A and B are shown apart, each in its own frame.
Chain A
Amino acid sequence: MAIKKLTLMSILTAVALIIFMVEAQIPIPIPVPGVKLGLANAVILFALFFERKETDIKLTKVDAFAILLCRILLGALFTGRLVAFAYSLTGGLLAFTVQVVLKRFVTKKQIWVCGAAGAVFHNIGQIAAAVIITGTPSIALYLPMLIIAGIVTGVVTGLIAQLTLERI
């Protein structure tokens, strides 16, 4: 892999990791399980939509996926919560899949759509994991609230990725 690309990916992974860990330290006052800003996803979206012809670095979906996996793994290790790893993984994988699929249908000005959908499915993935791990299906009743939260936070992270890409 070209050095430039590797450097970019490492930086992105580091940024995603730092955002994730800082976010983990700040408690959100909303009393709904699983609600979070999910800002680290902005980095993943950035990676997915990255295009700078002058630098001739091409980030593929696989690269973005690699960044995601590293962020999840390292995030779980560094924050010391291995159980959260299961939740992170299901949410992250589902969100990533949905975002990759949607990428075909949106323009560069509509990354917020991917962000919103990604956040929603991240939450769906987490709830699914929680239901399986705790064995109590009634947790799923939080889905409507989490869908709303997901759309709101997803639009924000999507816009962040969108605006950053426009400015670089």
Chain B
Amino acid sequence: MKSNRFWIIIFGAIILLSVIAVFIFARKQGDTVKIYQNGQLIHTGNLGMVSEPFNISVEFNGGTNIIAVEQGRIRVISANCFDGTCVRQGWHTGGLTPIVCLPNRLVITVEGKSDIDAVVG
């Protein structure tokens, strides 16, 4: 049987690595926002190109999310899902972790510079 100390070290190391990962993930800045619904890319835009804020309303199977887009940042301002995690995630300006609304299958990522305005086909 391994001693308590063994396990404490193991978990401590895992926590340390995870904390480092969190910081690395949070660092990436980006301009390209991509909105996925149910795995499909439904909207992509350039956050740097916005100087007047606007809203996007997105629906899926009766679930609605309203997304606010401003210069350089984006957030979900309202959702009719039951936990509202997505709303609480606040403004995203970059970083690798996306805004997620699992019940409405909504994922919003902010990535690096985008090349294009839309995809044909």
Interface residues of A (CB under 8 A from B): 27, 29, 31-33, 81, 83, 87, 105-107, 109-110, 113, 116, 120, 130, 133-136, 138-139, 141-145, 147-148, 151, 155
Contacts and interface: CB of A to CB of B under 8 A. Distances in A.
Interface in B83-121: 83-85, 88-90, 96-98, 100, 102-103, 105, 107, 109
A33 B1 contact: no
Interface string B28-64: 0000000010111000000000000000000000000
A97 B43 CA distance: 40
A147 B14 contact: yes
B112 to A, nearest CB: 13
A145 B18 contact: yes
Contacts, number: 83
Contact of B85 (A33, A87, A133): A33
A148 B4 contact: no
Contacts of B97: 138, 141-142, 145
Interface residues of B, number: 33
Interface of B: 1-2, 4, 7, 11, 14-15, 17-19, 21-22, 25, 36, 38-40, 82-85, 88-90, 96-98, 100, 102-103, 105, 107, 109
Given A27-B84, A120-B14, 6 more contacts: A31-B89, A31-B90, A105-B1, A134-B107, A138-B109, A145-B18
Nearest to A155: B11
A138 B107 contact: yes
A87 B85 CA distance: 16
B85 A32 contact: yes
Contacts of B90: 31
B18 A135 contact: no
Nearest to A154: B11
Given A110-B7, A144-B22, A136 B107 contact: yes
A105 B89 CA distance: 39
Given A31-B85, A106-B1, A151-B14, A144 B25 contact: yes
A155 B107 CA distance: 31
Nearest to B23: A144
A145 B11 CA distance: 14
Contact of A135 (B15, B38, B82, B88): B38
Contacts of A87: 102
B21 A144 contact: yes
Contact of B39 (A27, A105, A107, A136): A136
Contacts of B88: 29, 31
